[in-house]
Structure 1
Amino acid sequence: MVKILLVEDDAVIQELVTYNLEREGYTVMIAEEGNKALELLNKEKPDLVLLDVMLPELDGLDVCKKIRGNQETANIPLIMLSARDEVADRVIGLELGADDYITKPFSPRELLARIKARLREERRNSTPPPLSLTWGDLEIWPESYMVTIKGEQVTLTGKEFELLHIFMKRPNQVFSREYLLQKVWGYTVSGDTRTVDVHISNLRSKLKSVSPIIESVRGVGYRLAVNYSRPKDV
């Protein structure tokens, strides 16, 4: 049973979202403020979090930072809900680690589509030792979503890891923003490729000790840096 944590203080939205998610067979847990959300998160380990930005006491941005700053919850898919529709607000949410950002009012159909896109990935089995890919001092284990640099573990969000994995699987290819948006997020939004840019920027920052690892190809997209060491075969 897929468990979804809805962090929302508006009773009308709580009822609307819960009704539509339960119709799809999801189990919904509700927290009306940030501290309660963190308690439920650590206790119940939901499969996905729907997080309102404007919350009493601890707001959604602070909750997002705490979720992404905890290694046990860093990879849980997180979708932000907000009445704020400015580009700057979207960018802040994505920079803090949200996987998606939906503005209110939203249609239940769109929300379900976004949730399904986040949950489309198969459950990862970390029991057997996973194979790894390396690129110089950087090494990743696709099955366990682990990344190390010179043996030291680096914490990435789920979407950051998926982007890096795409690059390392096909190191000589240039990927367009539209391709990455479709492949990693599961949908395309015309003119909304800023999501990709924000995550690439965050990824570069976390991998700065092996920079340049991802380079921009003007007018096309991104690829692994061509002047860096080639990866070993798996």
Structure 2
Amino acid sequence: MLGLDPASWDALRLSLLVASTATICAIPVALWVAWLLARGRFRGKAVLSALVHLPLVLPPVVTGYLLLMAFGRNGPMGQILETVFGVSIAFKWTGAVLAAIIMGFPLMVRAMRLAIEAVDPKLEAAAATLGASPRSVFTSVTLPLISPGILAGSVMGFAKAIGEFGATITFVANIPGQTQTLPSAIYAFLQVPGGEPRAIALVLWACVIAIGAVLVSEWLAHRVARRIRGAAA
């Protein structure tokens, strides 16, 4: 049942590539935005928060269409990318990465923001009074404490990227071997007679990947927690 034909393997490999790339690219930006929302004091903070969470409330197809309008060949960003850098991301796997980043970004930011807000400022202040620089305080005190939130946000972003369908198929279509991700392949197989067994096999693989990602996240979180307790002792 878990055996896959070449087309299904291509879709699975592409989904893993898209999800991994999207997660890695989004982590630093998500952490920065989460820090701004948790610790920042500036005008327009509510607007930034609304923009970050907008993909959660917009229909995914609408998000994909907006990406197509902005990054398509006739879109403003698409024209800049093609003119200046000679690249185009619409209807390519890199466009699927962008769609995955946009859709998973709110989940990553929310998990990281909650972790940052849970840090006791007194711990950071104590490290600062001992002569630690702001960078040292962040790397030696804050970062270890918020690392479980970073891991949780990363797993949520990865899972969202693996399962993203609406924005991806609208922005980059469903081209086998090029932009056909796991959800798109499942949808395509269900539209043709006799395609259900292939769809079921991909569904099972999706479950295996999701469970594996959660288990790895839990294992890493426990290791981080033990390291923190050991340092505190």
Structure 2 length as normaliser, TM-score?
0.28
The structure that has the greater radius of gyration is 2
Higher helix share: 2
Q: Give the TM-score normalised by structure 1.
A: 0.28
